[in-house]
């Protein structure tokens, strides 16, 4: 997209999609970081993607309900598995999450091996197509995210291990099909990591960082003709590094005084 011909009718739905993803993933990311299960989103997102690819392999319509059900069912099954392993072997949970991720990723490659459009499907799963999000998808996504947020902010940690994993699986299933796995992971972890030293107003700061990352990332993508997903990942990470440095510097100054 040339900078002289930036089409804001394309950019604004992408930005809204990014804000919707951030709305759920920022608070869940803070909890993921607290629990020390950073790569859970990659595993569950990859499992959801395997469900999408499996449904496509069986011949279901790409945007049909069967694909959505397959993705959600796969993600919930993965979440239940990881809930059980977290209870049974908590000391190696992170390693088990990695094994689940690589199995799901390898399974997706096996299913795509005979698909002439396999490389394109894999790219969509990883990088996403945030710049081409249809406006008609935003309302049902917003409703789904609103329900997830109500559950989280009303019950929160009282939901327990199973409830958290189930809620997380629902959020990731929607997000990975909307913006791709890379942006799902970035939105979940980067704002939470950058603001982890903040004692007050951590959640608003993390939300602001995520929103700025999407806005500036889309602007950089439109100006430079870079792919939107990777551009947002780099811009949000750069902003996070600045925030992390400033917070750490302020903390060290306060300790010195």
Q: What is the pLDDT of residue 20?
A: 96
Inform me whether the pLDDT recorded for 3 exceeds 50: no
Whether 185 is in a domain gets the answer yes
Total Cβ atoms within 10 A of residue 141: 19
Per-residue pLDDT at 63:
61
Is the pLDDT assigned to residue 65 strictly greater than 90?
Answer: no
What average pLDDT does this structure show over 199-207? Answer: 91
Q: Is the pLDDT at 103 greater than 50, yes or no?
A: yes
- pTM, to two decimals: 0.85
CB 133 within 8 A of CB 178: yes
Q: What is the pLDDT of residue 64?
A: 61
Reply yes or no on whether the pLDDT at 193 is more than 90.
Answer: yes
Under the banding of pLDDT at 50, 70 and 90, the label for residue 208 is very high
pLDDT score for 114: 78
Q: Note whether residue 8 is domain-resident.
A: no
Task: Give me 5's structure tokens.
Answer: 């011909």
The answer to whether residue 13 is domain-embedded is no
For 180, the domain range is 21-248
Q: What is the pLDDT of residues 171-191, one digit of tens each?
A: 988 888 889 889 999 999 999
Task: Please report the pLDDT score of residue 69 as a whole number.
Answer: 85
pLDDT tens, position by position, 139-168: 999 999 999 999 999 988 788 888 888 898
- Binned at pLDDT 50, 70 and 90, residue 195 comes out as very high
Look-up: residue for tokens 């951030």?
22
In whole angstroms, what is the distance from residue 36 CA to residue 81 CA? 17
CATH code where residue 133 lies: 1.10.3470.10
Does a structural domain hold residue 159?
A: yes
List, for residues 216-255, the tens digit of each pLDDT value.
999 999 888 889 999 999 999 999 999 999 888 876 666 5
> Is 16 a domain residue?
no
Predicted pLDDT at 5: 46
Average pLDDT over residues 58-77: 79
Q: What is the pLDDT of residue 186?
A: 94
Mean pLDDT of 73-82: 91
Say what the pLDDT of residue 55 is: 82
- Total tally of structural domains belonging to the chain: 1
* Residue 97 in domain: yes
- Residue 160 has a pLDDT of 82
Model pLDDT, residue 123: 72
Task: Give the CA distances from residue 145 to residues 58, 170, 243, in Å, rounded to whole numbers and listed in that order.
Answer: 28, 9, 27
- Residues contacting residue 87 through CB under 8 Å, at least 6 positions apart: 161
pLDDT of the residue at 112: 84
In a domain, 7, yes or no: no
Distance from C-alpha of 47 to C-alpha of 100, rounded to nearest angstrom: 8
Higher pLDDT, 140 or 42: 140
In a domain, 14, yes or no: no
């Amino acid at each position: 997209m040339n900078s002289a011909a930036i089409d804001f009718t394309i950019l604004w739905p992408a930005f809204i999609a990014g804000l919707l993803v951030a709305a759920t993933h920022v608070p869940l990311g803070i909890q993921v970081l607290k629990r020390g299960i950073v790569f859970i989103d990659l595993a569950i997102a990859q499992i959801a993607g395997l469900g999408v690819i499996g449904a496509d392999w069986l011949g279901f319509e790409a945007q049909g309900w069967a694909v959505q059900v397959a993705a959600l069912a796969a993600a919930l099954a993965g979440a239940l598995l990881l809930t059980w392993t977290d209870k049974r072997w908590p000391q190696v949970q992170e390693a088990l999450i990695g094994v689940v991720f690589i199995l799901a990723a390898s399974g997706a490659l096996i299913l795509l091996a005979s698909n002439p459009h396999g490389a394109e499907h894999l790219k969509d799963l990883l990088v996403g197509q945030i710049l081409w999000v249809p406006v008609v998808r935003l309302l049902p996504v917003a409703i789904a995210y609103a329900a997830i947020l109500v559950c989280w902010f009303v019950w929160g940690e009282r939901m327990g291990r199973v409830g958290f994993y189930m809620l997380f699986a629902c959020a990731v299933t929607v997000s990975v099909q909307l913006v791709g796995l890379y942006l799902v992971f970035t939105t979940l972890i980067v704002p939470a990591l950058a603001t982890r030293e903040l004692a007050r107003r951590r959640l608003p700061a993390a939300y602001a960082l995520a929103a700025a990352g999407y806005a500036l990332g889309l602007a950089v993508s439109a100006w430079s003709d870079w792919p939107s997903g990777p551009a947002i990942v780099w811009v949000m990470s750069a902003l996070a590094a600045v925030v992390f440095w400033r917070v750490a510097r302020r903390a060290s100054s306060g300790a010195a005084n």
